[in-house]
């Protein structure tokens, strides 16, 4: 999907307010049929799940029979749901947010607080660490590590025709930022806190604001600082 297609999908989607409503009152299954939301329960206690407006309309019509209620709202006027994680063969930790339309490769690790937007692609065995943000249409290769708090920019706002491309075996340090349209080539390292404005060649270390190449990866004395642990990647 190009950025125009993604923009079209979001702008034309029906915006929803996903809600879960707990109801006390004497109802039966017939009271909820054809109302546009799901209902679970019996007798005096029911749970209603779905878009909030049809639930609220039903509640208004039945307000005299409702003894008490409690409403939980997961989002407000949301354009797209989260990805169905049952389809993903990777380790997704609690609190990670992966939007529908993203692709997650086999044996990836998506840590707590990470956000992956529509159209983003994450290659096999790549780790997206805590609170990292992977923007729309960003392409990340295999066996990468995207550090905690890092931002891989999207292409929707500001709009850009070229997505970020992170090739295989790239290590992006904590709180680094890679701006839209930038390519980080195979085997390179982006230092913590760096802001990458231009393409990075293969097998080098880039650091600073703006990021500049400071050495070759082969010159790093402590290779364990940029190594990935493959045995962590198995999702089974």
Domain boundary pick from 73, 94, 122: 73
Instruction: Name the domain count of the chain.
Output: 2
Q: With 80 as the cut, is the pLDDT of residue 223 above it?
A: no
Q: With 80 as the cut, is the pLDDT of residue 236 above it?
A: no
Tell me the pLDDT band of 231, cut-offs 50, 70 and 90: confident
How confident is the model over 192-210, as a mean pLDDT? Answer: 97
Domain boundary pick from 44, 73, 102: 73
N- to C-terminal Cα separation, the chain: 31
Full domain range(s) for residue 67: 13-73
Please tell me the pTM assigned to this model. Answer: 0.88
CATH code for the domain in which residue 23 is found: 3.30.70.250
Which pLDDT value is given to residue 82? 94
Lowest mean pLDDT among 4-8, 148-152, 220-224: 220-224
Q: With 80 as the cut, is the pLDDT of residue 152 above it?
A: yes
- Same domain (yes/no): 38, 135: no
What is the secondary structure of 74-94 as a DSSP string? S-SSBSS-B--GGG--SEE-T
Per-residue model confidence as pLDDT tens digits over 76-100? 999 999 999 998 999 999 999 999 9
d(CA 234, CA 218): 28
- Same domain (yes/no): 164, 108: yes
Q: With 90 as the cut, is the pLDDT of residue 110 above it?
A: yes
Domain boundary pick from 73, 97, 118: 73
- The closest of 179, 164, 169 to 211, measured between CA atoms, is 179
Question: Cα–chain-centroid distance for residue 135?
Answer: 8
């Amino acid at each position: 999907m190009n950025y125009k297609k993604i923009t079209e999908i979001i702008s034309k989607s029906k915006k929803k307010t996903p809600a879960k409503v707990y109801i006390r009152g004497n109802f039966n299954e017939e009271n909820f049929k054809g109302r546009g939301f799901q209902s679970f329960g019996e007798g005096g206690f029911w749970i209603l799940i779905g878009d909030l407006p049809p639930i609220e309309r039903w509640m208004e019509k039945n307000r005299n029979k409702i003894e008490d209620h409690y409403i939980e709202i997961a989002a407000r006027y949301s354009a797209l749901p989260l990805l169905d994680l049952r389809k993903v063969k990777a380790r997704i930790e609690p609190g990670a947010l992966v939007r529908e339309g993203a692709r997650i490769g086999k044996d990836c690790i998506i840590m707590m607080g990470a956000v992956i937007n529509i159209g983003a692609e994450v290659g096999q065995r790549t780790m997206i660490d805590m609170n990292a943000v992977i923007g729309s249409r960003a392409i990340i290769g295999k066996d990468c590590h995207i550090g905690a708090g890092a931002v891989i920019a999207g292409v929707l706002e500001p709009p850009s025709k070229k997505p970020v491309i992170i090739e295989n075996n790239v290590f992006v340090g904590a709180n680094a930022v890679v701006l839209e349209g930038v390519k980080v080539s195979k085997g390179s390292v982006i230092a913590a806190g760096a802001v990458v404005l231009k393409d990075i060649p293969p097998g080098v270390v880039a650091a600073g604001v703006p990021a500049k190449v400071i050495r070759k990866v082969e010159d790093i004395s402590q290779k364990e600082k940029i190594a990935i642990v493959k045995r962590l990647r198995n999702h089974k």
